[in-house]
Homo-oligomer: A and B are copies of this chain.
Amino acid sequence: MTSQKAPTMKDVAREAGVALGTVSKVINGIPVSERNRLKVEQAIQTLNYEVNTYARGLKTQKSNLVALIIPNTTNPFFASFADHIEASLYKKGLRLLLCCADGIPQKEIDYLNMAANNKVDGIIALTYSDIGKYIPPSLPIVVFDRFFENRVIPRVASDNFSGGCLAIEKLLEFGCRHPIYIRFHSVFPGESDKRKDGYLYACEKYGLEPDFIDEVDCDDRLRIMKEFLEKHKRPDGSLTFDGVFSHTDYHGYMFYRLLLSEGYRVPEDVQIIGFDGIRKFGNDDDDLFISSICQPVELLAEKCVEILTAADGTPAPCLTLLPAQYRYGGTTRDGKR
């Protein structure tokens, strides 16, 4: 069993009895006489020829690789995003280089440099630190949600403002009178900040008194929630609020568990709507953690890929917002299920 050396285009050309350039044309779908096309295709078959990616890349400086920079894949939202990005890229013949940066600035920059270093054709980024100044100017990039001051970069996000508004409108529709808002935010600005703007806007519009937790994310989340809860108990133990709009499903679910453990009933005493639409097992089954304003993850992913791969002629929109939708997930009184 000899260690087979992979056949090259030269071998194909010899086998087919044509010139190197002709083989190249056939491979790249450039018109060639019927007769030669058949001969070349035949030769490719018999030799089992496969194009050498490195050689091609050296000439074209294209890799058909797109880097996705996210914090991790264990958070269901990121996981779902990565999954749909992969599917969208695959449809276009592109491959996904997965970069989990754990929100660590150095790792984000590392990966950015690696990508810049002519390894990928483009970047889709969902990062946690201010990497704006490290983004190589020559490399196509699309950013999910985040906003960088230094440079105009195409951004894709859900319509968080309308989503925030919608959450309150749904809570009101389902009978809430005093919805609160809960948020543990990163220090880095992005579109998702507008969920709070939507909440505040809805409060004003419907004559509600805003009331919320809005802290920098930390390990103390549970303590902060408990303190908040304590302050909102009436002497008889009942709560001064009857609805919760959580900035994320994650924290909403956390608050949900806290309420249950303190003996409150959900959705009877308190209704909860989160944001994101993450699912327990990622299927289409009804496995939301809580009722939620669901981000259209599949569409968002497709849009990122579409913008990234758009022909150079088309100027990329600097911001693309897609609508988020309400879905029932057990923590509201929709009365429909």
Binding site for B on A (CB under 8 A): 3-4, 6, 50-55, 57-58, 61, 63, 65, 72-76, 79-80, 82-83, 86-87, 90, 95-100, 107, 113-114, 116-119, 138, 250, 253, 279-283, 289
* Closest B residue, CB atoms, query A71: B83
How far does the Cβ of A253 sit from chain B's closest Cβ, in whole Å? 8
| B280–A280 CB distance below 8 A | yes
| B96–A98 CB distance below 8 A | yes
Copies in the complex: 2
* Closest B residue, CB atoms, query A83: B73
Residues in B whose Cβ lies below 8 Å from that of A253: 280
How far does the Cβ of A186 sit from chain B's closest Cβ, in whole Å? 16
How far does the Cβ of A71 sit from chain B's closest Cβ, in whole Å? 10
* Closest B residue, CB atoms, query A281: B250
- Which of B61, B75, B97 is A282 in contact with, Cβ under 8 Å? B75
Main secondary structure of the interface of A (DSSP, over half): mixed
| A82–B98 CB distance below 8 A | yes
How far does the Cβ of A88 sit from chain B's closest Cβ, in whole Å? 11
How far does the Cβ of A125 sit from chain B's closest Cβ, in whole Å? 16
Residues in B whose Cβ lies below 8 Å from that of A98: 82, 86, 96-98
- Which of B65, B74, B97, B107 is A79 in contact with, Cβ under 8 Å? B74
How far does the Cβ of A321 sit from chain B's closest Cβ, in whole Å? 24
Q: A74-B79, A97-B96 are in contact. Are A54 and B51 (CB under 8 A)?
A: no
- Which of B52, B83, B99, B280 is A72 in contact with, Cβ under 8 Å? B83
How far does the Cβ of A100 sit from chain B's closest Cβ, in whole Å? 5
Residues in B whose Cβ lies below 8 Å from that of A65: 97
Query: What separation, in Å, do the CA atoms of A62 and B80 have in the docked complex?
Result: 31
| B50–A116 CB distance below 8 A | yes
| A57–B50 CB distance below 8 A | no
| B250–A74 CB distance below 8 A | no
Residues in B whose Cβ lies below 8 Å from that of A73: 73, 79-80, 82-83, 86, 282
